Structure 1
Amino acid sequence: METSRVGNVPTAIRAPQPAAGSGNTVTCLIRFALANIRRRPERFVLAVLGIALAIACVTVVRTISASFAATGEESVADVLGSAALWVVPAAGVHYDAQAGALIADGDAPEISIPGGWTATRVLSGLVDIDGEGVSLRGSDEIASGTATVGHALAERLAVVDGGTVTVGGQRLQVSVEAAGQSLTVQTALARSLVGERGWWLVNAPPGGEHRRDLGAAFGAAVGLPFTPDPAVRPDGDGAGLIYDTVGGSGPLTFEQKYSALFSGKVTSSTLGLISTIGLGLGFVIAVSSFLAAVTERRREFGIMSSIGLADEVLYFFLVESAVIFVTAYLVGVTAAGIAVAVVIPGIASVASWLQGAALTAMFLPAMAIVGALVPVHRLLQQRPVSLLGDR
């Protein structure tokens, strides 16, 4: 800093300051990364496509898994309503993909309801309506000549509230209510179509709705085993099984546990194995690409390290890697969303895709650390003079 006089008053003359933001570190790092990408566009494209393919594989499986989890939770909630106990037949129940609902595989257990408890026997089976597999349920609360249909099923059958549908040769007036994929008719009509197949929905005596031992108490009264775990299947040789939907331990509800079963079937299937292999290939592609980039630019890094810019080398490379990973992630999740929407539109939903994309994003930090940080860190452990020499 120099001084001069203006009249008799000394005045300080300061060196000119750089314009605000012109020396911004993040901006410089990004500009440097983009410049390197422009110098080697083919390497950037290949690295992005390879990593994006792995990300797409994982996202597709995670999206399908999230969709199945939502389907499982919705289907069991549609069955249970407000019931505390679900008594299923010895043959169990299964989820029918065409009908989009849970279907009983056997006759409802023959039980005597203890005093104070309330129970409803629900007939359940699969029928064909205009070429569509439909979940049919029977209820004593449905008037003769009428049927209630869930919104999702009404859309699939192209029927509206007040319209008609033909079931078992009878023309029924339709009432569209709530959600779900089931059609509920009078018990007598349901029995003529599906026989005695079904289950019981049981509610506790007044004042005992929140007891944690409802399954044990009801099971002891009717002589059936009970469990709060939906993963437990009924003994095919027994009389049935009681699912306690309010008992058990842990923070998850019965519906959430049931949805986890649906999700687990996807992640443990061949699709899950393919996604795991794809993720491994993504790691290999990332490491190979960045190792090649580091090797190619070792002299450049050696010059920067020799003038005291070793840390900047690490930052430059990490920002460039981040650009590649973010681009690959966006390409991968977009491709996965398009693939699921085109191939399995009945399962795909925006919510499940977003959930799958969020779960896939959890792998990015590990891929970045292994693929980018490790190669350049190993490079910087060498002396600058060795980097400047010919290999």
Structure 2
Amino acid sequence: MEASQVNNAPTSIRSPQIPTGTGNTFACLVRFALANIRRRPERFILSVLGIALAIACVTIVRTISTSFAITGEDSVIDVLGDAQLWVVPAAGVHYDPGAQALIADGPAPAIAPPDGWTGARVLSGVVELDGQSVSLRSSDQIASGEAALGAQLAARLGVRQGESITVGGQGLRVGIVGDGQSMAVPTAVARSLVGDNGWWLVYAPSGAEQRRDLAQTLGGAVGLPSTPDPSVTPDPKGDGLIYDTVGGSGPLTFEQKFSALFSGKVTSSALGLISTVGLGLGFVIAVSSFLAAVTERRREFGIMSSIGLADEVLYFFLVESAIVFLVAYIVGVVAAGAAVALVIPSLTTVTAWAQGAAVTAMFLPAMAIVGALVPVHRLLQQRPVSLLEER
């Protein structure tokens, strides 16, 4: 061979792309990853189970959090209806899990709405019907001998429109109104069962329903403080508090703020901490698994790097990590949905589970990319010849 031919020979050969065969580049990457998974099924299974456990922890907490958020929003909508202001007692209100509704903790403040305003005093408490805790409220709009049940409550009690139920020894004919978890009865019946505990619903004068100063105006007239923030509780030494459902700043409605308050109690609790720790452990498991895979296949990748396929090594691991995380995600969210449905069926809905799964899915791309990048980056920092050395 002539010297000129030797000097003109290429010093390296780099493939412009991965051989495509009968499919495209992505299909080749997927086939390569699946082939590697079949060679080491035990590692794949252990990695999937470890990551799926972490995903299940996060999804369970997010599902519970979303369920509480939906419950909180529904419960406050059930209370307010179309009222602009909610005047609660000094003792406040609480959410009763058994009744699945908001309940007053004390007597409603003694107020007299100004001229032009309309106020409805609502008595509130809990009664037992057929072994079920039921939220009972008063209404001056309910005729004697009748009871208005929300559709969800009627379904829970197994009663239909026009049937009769016995409440406090009185027979009442059922009417289904709205979609809530409360039962409205005539005021006299409610007072005999739950006493004077309750709140006021106040309606602004016609044409002024959307004014931002309604709470301040009413507060000045009746001598009560007001707030648009549902996280603020009444002063136990005071007379009560006006919740402003119209005013306030920000894009969120009062109902949405109340919903966020319910959700925040879950995510900031011990459950939220457990889910965060679980997510971190899942990330550690992923990185450890891929790091072990890289170490085991270092000679294989050393050969690939030496013939100019260093970039393709990264693509291989990205696709393989994506497959691992996708399978782990499916296993994790299905297990989480089953666990929540078995443990707290009263709070679990498909909507809450889907939203919890969607929130969890937001973490996956970053975990999959970093889980592959960290080990492969360490690999590619070494020279190909060092990867080929026996250890």
- Shorter chain as denominator, the TM-score bin is over 0.9
For residue 23 of structure 1, report the CA deviation from its aligned partner. Answer: 4.5
CA distance in 2, matches of 1:259, 1:195: 29
- The answer on whether the counterparts of 2:321 and 2:369 sit within 8 Å (CA) in structure 1 is no
Aligned to 2:111: 111
> 1:15: which partner in 2?
none
- Runs (4+) off by over 3 Å: none
Taking the aligned partners of 1:23 and 1:346, their CA distance within structure 2 comes to 49
Instruction: Return the offset for 1:366.
Output: 2.0
Instruction: State the Cα distance separating 1:277 from its structure 2 match.
Output: 1.2
In 2, Cα distance between equivalents of 1:292 and 1:379:
11
Between 313-322 and 226-235, the greater mean CA deviation after superposition:
313-322
Q: Distance in 1 between matches of 2:20 and 2:298?
A: 33
Distance 1:117 1:177 in 2: 25
> Could you say which residue in structure 2 is the equivalent of 1:8?
none
Aligned equivalent of 1:4: none
2:143 is matched with 143
Residues in 2 aligned to 1:274 and 1:86: alpha-carbon distance in whole angstroms = 36
- 1:358 and 1:245, CA in 2 relative to 1: closer, same or farther beyond 3 A? same
1:70 aligns with 2:86: no
Q: Does residue 220 of structure 1 match 2:210?
A: no
Q: TM-score when scaled to structure 2?
A: 0.94
2:335 paired with 1:335? yes
**Could you give the per-residue CA deviations for residues 137-187 of structure 1, whole angstroms, max 9, x where no partner exists?**
011111111111111111111111000111111001110111111111100
Shift of 1:21: 7.1
Structure 1 residue 279 corresponds to structure 2 residue 279: yes
Question: Once structures 1 and 2 are overlaid, which stretch shifts more, 298-307 or 199-208?
Answer: 199-208
SS of residue in 2 equivalent to 1:64: helix
2:210 aligned with 1:210, yes or no?
Answer: yes
Residue 248 of structure 2 aligns to a residue whose secondary structure is coil
Using the TM superposition, give the Cα deviation of residue 59 of structure 1 relative to its aligned residue in structure 2, in angstroms. 0.4
Letter in 2 for 1:105: D
Structure-to-structure mapping, 1:173-322, within 5 angstroms: 173-322=173-322
For 1:173 and 1:187, the matched residues in 2 are separated by 16
What is the TM-score of this pair, normalised by structure 1?
0.94
Q: Distance in 2 between matches of 1:145 and 1:42?
A: 68
Give the distance between the partners of 1:21 and 1:389, measured in 2 at CA. Answer: 31
Q: Residue 58 of structure 2 contacts residue 278 of structure 2 at CA under 8 Å; is this kept in 1?
A: yes
Q: Distance in 2 between matches of 1:293 and 1:21?
A: 26
Task: Tell me which residue corresponds to 2:13.
Answer: none
Counterpart residue type for residue 61 of structure 2: V
Establish whether residue 88 from structure 1 lines up as the match of residue 88 from structure 2.
Answer: yes
Residues matched between the structures, number: 373
SS in 2 for 1:37: helix
Letter in 1 for 2:248: G
Q: Which runs of 5+ in 2 are unaligned?
A: 1-18
- The amino acid across from 2:147 in the alignment is A
Q: Which runs of 5+ in 1 are unaligned?
A: 1-18
Distance 2:314 2:375 in 1: 10
Structure 1 vs Structure 2 CA RMSD:
1.2
Question: 1:87, CA displacement in angstroms?
Answer: 0.1
Q: Deviations over 1:44-79 (max 9, x none)?
A: 000000000000000011011111100000000000
Cross-structure match for 1:41: 41
Percentage of identical aligned residues = 75
